[in-house]
Chains A and B, each alone.
Chain A
Amino acid sequence: MTRKNQRTATLAVLPMYLFSLVFVAGPLVYMLVLSFMTRDGFGFTNAFTLENYRSIFNEVYFATFLESLKLAGISTAAVILFGYPFGLGAALLPDRYAHFFRTAQMIPYFVNSLLRLCGWIIIFRANGLLDKALMALGITEEPLKFLYTYPAVVVGMIYVLLPFMFLSVYQVAEKLDLTLVEAARDLGAGKIRAFLTVTLPLTLPGLKTGIILTFIPSMGLFFIASILGGNKVVLIGSLIEEQLMRAHNQPFAAALSVALMLLTGVVCGLLMKKKRGA
């Protein structure tokens, strides 16, 4: 890059940089400081304490962390299972069909996500569409009462997060040079071997992006658990909301948030660790 281009580029990113500094980095620092302060009635005093962090390891709160991690793990795994083959398959189709699948994936997202989630209530509720369909087909004899169960929450998570995986994988798989797969086959690799040694490593960046885009939100998405889980599934997101809005324990809410960030940060850091040249 020439010096002039560099200057132009700097000017172009400067507003965004300042915006991030003031509205993203600023609150983060504030939150970090807040997490070390002491609760005082409905407010807080700036007496330094580690008590907020100690509380996280309280049995109840720690269990919430584990519960969130479990749901995020299950959801992410399910999204990989459905999203990766779907994204890869769609990208390898002839252009017309590939574009159709990509567009079809995105159209529902023009509708508000809460509204779409409420649609699942109609399907999952007792004697709802799912129960009626299953009973009509003679698969079950009485209503399943699927709504407000753990699997219902997982289905909701998959539904909301699948497009992130699909699009991340699709984008990378679209650029995959199929001659490379043919070369692998020609050089002696069976279909599975060629997939494992060529297709998978070359689409791994898309898969990793998809995992990050799925895992991070799934740690925080508490409204799905609220709507489809009926608050039976308490997640770290709902705990933070509760501490902040109802218990008015801002320092503890901040400490929980910092802990959540650290947790997701570590997971993403492990994923992003790049192999040289890949």
Chain B
Amino acid sequence: MDDVSNILEIRGISKSFGETSVIRNLSFSVARGEFLTVLGSSGCGKTTLLRIICGLEETDAGQVILDGRDVTAAEPNLREVNTVFQSYALFPHMTVFENVAYPLRIAKTKISKAELVRRVSEALELVRMTGCERRYPSALSGGQKQRIAIARAIVGRPRVLLLDEPLGALDLNLRRQMQTELKNLQKSLGITFIYITHDQEEALNMSDRIAVMKNGQFLQIGTPAEIYDSPKTVYAARFVGEANILPCTFGKMTGDAAEVTFEGLPLTVRRGCISREYGNGESVPAALRGEQIVISDAGRFSGVVSDISFAGGVMRITFGCGGTLLTAVRYGLDTSVKTGDTIRFEIPASAAVLCENDEGGTA
């Protein structure tokens, strides 16, 4: 377990507020220089997790190991972890320079004035905010405040940088631009990022790994591709990318593939990441990405088109098949399909993947 390549190890932490259990026996590790995104909807416990890592919240059980040192009981100022807060939390009574210089000025190891100025300038340069040193936070736009908050958090060269929905308050264009910048920044600094968001696009765009969080636990942790291709549960499938959930009946497992029936017809699906076994005849959900549905007259399945939308070069065809609504995604405009048409379609072998139902929220 004591792998030195891991900068952060979380071992069995739990946290309750009164009767409400917010984090439940959570364990994971983060590799040095990794960009890990914790993805979950509001109330899933992701912010509490972050506060436990930076020490602003105490954990009820378990340990937080930072670079091989147990910091579970350490005060926040004694952890080499810095946070970019959702509200930026810039000090309103200090200039941009003073804000960014703050961690250096209060640090135990004193540095010369020249070194201080050099490092503040360097940090401001990294977030492209040179020239704002004398301004006060109240004179900055949301995007600028964001950059200053990041500069302030990285200037002290923490081992891990925590980011709590840092782009949440920005408009879409700025958010996309900042995503790219953050990713580049992380690469050039080589600092481990733990990024918290409810935005799957941000997660898929920036992360080395994504942890899908629900009800205080990780449903699944893996690379964006893994989670997209083989979501472990129905919730993960729906939360990361769009997914169709096929209600299937389980047949048998053959290696990494499984034989199931959907709408009475046999279908070969991948085993994916499920952690439980299914028995013959048991109903099982299978996730299928919209772009993998092939609409063709040779298809074995049929459905009635209920809605068609076309946006940004992507066409979404929603159709009912048995009792299930499915959405097929096609690129480019296809005028041959109209609402009310009966279409035939095929689900290629190994396109769909088995997953688990989220029972009462536990995986």
Beta-carbon nearest neighbor of B138 in chain A: A277
Chain A residues contacting B107 (CB-CB under 8 Å) are 188
**Contact between A184 and B102 (Cβ–Cβ < 8 Å)?**
yes
**Contact between A189 and B106 (Cβ–Cβ < 8 Å)?**
yes
**Contact between B106 and A183 (Cβ–Cβ < 8 Å)?**
no
Q: Which 7 A-B pairs have the closest CB atoms?
A: A183-B89, A187-B103, A185-B76, A179-B89, A277-B136, A186-B83, A188-B77
**Contact between B153 and A187 (Cβ–Cβ < 8 Å)?**
yes
Whole-angstrom CA separation of A189 from B107 in the bound complex:
8
Known: A186-B82, A188-B103. A180 touches B91 (CB 8 A): yes
User: Nearest-CB distance from B148 to chain A (Å)?
Assistant: 12
**Contact between A202 and B92 (Cβ–Cβ < 8 Å)?**
yes
Identify the interface centre among B83, B89, B156: most chain A CB within 10 Å of its CB: B89
- B54 lies within 8 A of chain A by Cβ: yes
Known: A193-B106, A277-B136. A186 touches B54 (CB 8 A): yes
- A151 lies within 8 A of chain B by Cβ: no
Whole-angstrom CA separation of A198 from B92 in the bound complex:
9
**Contact between A187 and B92 (Cβ–Cβ < 8 Å)?**
no
**Contact between B56 and A197 (Cβ–Cβ < 8 Å)?**
no
- B341 lies within 8 A of chain A by Cβ: no
Known: A186-B82, A197-B106. A177 touches B156 (CB 8 A): no
User: Nearest-CB distance from A167 to chain B (Å)?
Assistant: 22
Known: A179-B87, A277-B136. A185 touches B77 (CB 8 A): yes
Interface of A is mostly: helix
Chain A residues contacting B153 (CB-CB under 8 Å) are 187
Whole-angstrom CA separation of A107 from B13 in the bound complex:
47
**Contact between B136 and A186 (Cβ–Cβ < 8 Å)?**
no
Q: Which residues of A does B touch, CB under 8 Å?
A: 177, 179-180, 182-191, 193-194, 197-198, 201-202, 277-278
**Contact between B75 and A187 (Cβ–Cβ < 8 Å)?**
no
Residue among B77, B82, B83, B95 making CB contact with A190, cutoff 8 Å: B77
List 13 additional contacts besides A177-B89, A185-B76; criterion CB under 8 Å: A182-B56, A183-B85, A183-B89, A183-B91, A185-B75, A185-B77, A186-B56, A186-B77, A186-B82, A187-B103, A188-B77, A188-B156, A277-B138
**Contact between B102 and A186 (Cβ–Cβ < 8 Å)?**
no
Q: Which residues 89-121 of B sit at the A interface, judged by CB distance below 8 A?
A: 89, 91-93, 95, 102-103, 106-107
B62-76 Cβ-contact flags toward A at 8 Å (1 or 0): 000000000000011
Can you list 20 A-B pairs with a CB-CB distance of less than 8 A?
A: A177-B87, A179-B89, A180-B89, A183-B89, A183-B91, A184-B106, A185-B77, A186-B76, A186-B82, A186-B83, A187-B77, A187-B153, A188-B77, A190-B77, A194-B77, A201-B93, A202-B92, A202-B93, A277-B95, A277-B138
Chain B residues contacting A278 (CB-CB under 8 Å) are 93
Whole-angstrom CA separation of A188 from B136 in the bound complex:
22
Whole-angstrom CA separation of A202 from B107 in the bound complex:
21
Chain B residues contacting A183 (CB-CB under 8 Å) are 83, 85, 89, 91
**Contact between A277 and B75 (Cβ–Cβ < 8 Å)?**
no
Whole-angstrom CA separation of A233 from B136 in the bound complex:
49
**Contact between A187 and B152 (Cβ–Cβ < 8 Å)?**
yes
Chain B residues contacting A188 (CB-CB under 8 Å) are 77, 103, 106-107, 156
Beta-carbon nearest neighbor of B54 in chain A: A186
Whole-angstrom CA separation of A258 from B206 in the bound complex:
69
Chain B residues contacting A194 (CB-CB under 8 Å) are 77
Chain A residues contacting B106 (CB-CB under 8 Å) are 184, 187-189, 193, 197
**Contact between A187 and B87 (Cβ–Cβ < 8 Å)?**
no
Chain B residues contacting A186 (CB-CB under 8 Å) are 54-56, 76-77, 81-83
Chain B residues contacting A198 (CB-CB under 8 Å) are 91
Chain B residues contacting A187 (CB-CB under 8 Å) are 77, 82, 102-103, 106, 152-153, 156
Whole-angstrom CA separation of A192 from B89 in the bound complex:
19
Residue among A180, A190, A202 making CB contact with B75, cutoff 8 Å: A190
User: Nearest-CB distance from A163 to chain B (Å)?
Assistant: 27
Q: Which residues 206-245 of B sit at the A interface, judged by CB distance below 8 A?
A: none
Whole-angstrom CA separation of A201 from B77 in the bound complex:
20
Whole-angstrom CA separation of A186 from B103 in the bound complex:
9
Beta-carbon nearest neighbor of B162 in chain A: A186
Whole-angstrom CA separation of A190 from B55 in the bound complex:
12
Chain A residues contacting B56 (CB-CB under 8 Å) are 182, 185-186
User: Nearest-CB distance from A60 to chain B (Å)?
Assistant: 46
User: Nearest-CB distance from B17 to chain A (Å)?
Assistant: 13
